[in-house]
Homo-oligomer: A and B are copies of this chain.
Amino acid sequence: MSQSRLVTLEQDILAKNNGYAAANRRLFAERGILALNLVSSPGSGKTTLLVRTIEELAGRFPAYVIEGDQQTSADAQRIRATGAPALQINTGKGCHLDGHMVGHAVEHLDPAEGSLLFIENVGNLVCPASFDLGQHANVALLSTPEGHDKPAKYPVMFRAADLVLLSKSDLLEVLGDFDVATATDHVRGLANAAPVIPVSSRSGAGMDAWLAWLGDAS
């Protein structure tokens, strides 16, 4: 297959996705829903952060969650245990959520006016960066065990981040080789001025700053 045919195809797929994303965006605007796309490597602690966040919000905003995974519905079950409605999308061989999947999930979840919609994307620092879901902001998690160099190595994702949470910050001392300032510098090196906040779902450190950001965004 020629390179130009591949590029045309990519454009076709993205154009179609953008149509679905635009429809999601209109629905979010009509209902005053804040939609956030959470992205990270596998195992960076997205679900654990959401569970703690929903608990700490304690109904201040009604929260809804769309969970993306290749397989299993374990994450949606963990979210539902908090009382928040959650829907699991299994992508099978797919490496990211797309606008169409999210549109269907929103139809099922039917989020209330003025609610918060968390979209937990498939754990992947590459593919989700290319697919608009209609979200208002991208929240990228970088867990401290992954190393502070990841923004430089996965620039497309971290350039698109509106907020970077350095998750599992309780491990900073044990690890000894993750430097918050260096991680922040790597984000700035991508011409991204997004806030970079260390946070631990385990100890609760940084949760206030993250909840304050959520409050400002709502």
- Residues of A131-185 contacting chain B, CB below 8 A: 143, 145-147, 149-150, 152-156, 168, 171, 174
Nearest-CB residue, chain B, relative to A47: B147
Known: A41-B41, A145-B143. A124 touches B125 (CB 8 A): yes
- Asked whether, in the complex, the Cβ of A95 is within 8 Å of the Cβ of B153, the reply is no
- Shortest CB-to-CB span from A135 to chain B, Å, is 20
Nearest-CB residue, chain B, relative to A90: B153
Among A50-58, A69-77, A109-117, the stretch that binds chain B is: A69-77
Q: How far is the CA of A72 from the CA of B153 in the complex (A)?
A: 6
Q: Which of B44, B71, B122, B152 contacts A72 (CB 8 A)?
A: B152
Q: How far is the CA of A66 from the CA of B168 in the complex (A)?
A: 30
- Asked whether, in the complex, the Cβ of B174 is within 8 Å of the Cβ of A70, the reply is no
- Asked whether, in the complex, the Cβ of B41 is within 8 Å of the Cβ of A156, the reply is no
Q: How far is the CA of A1 from the CA of B9 in the complex (A)?
A: 9
Q: Which of B43, B122, B123, B126 contacts A122 (CB 8 A)?
A: B126
- Asked whether, in the complex, the Cβ of B93 is within 8 Å of the Cβ of A130, the reply is yes
- Shortest CB-to-CB span from A76 to chain B, Å, is 12
Residues of B within 8 A of A1 (CB): 9, 12-13, 16
Residues of B within 8 A of A70 (CB): 126, 153-156
Known: A145-B145, A145-B171, A153-B71. A127 touches B127 (CB 8 A): yes
- Asked whether, in the complex, the Cβ of B93 is within 8 Å of the Cβ of A149, the reply is no
- Residues of A28-48 contacting chain B, CB below 8 A: 41-44
**Complex A-B: 17 CB contacts under 8 Å:** A43-B146, A70-B154, A71-B153, A71-B154, A72-B149, A72-B153, A74-B152, A93-B126, A93-B130, A94-B126, A95-B124, A122-B126, A123-B154, A124-B125, A145-B145, A171-B171, A171-B174
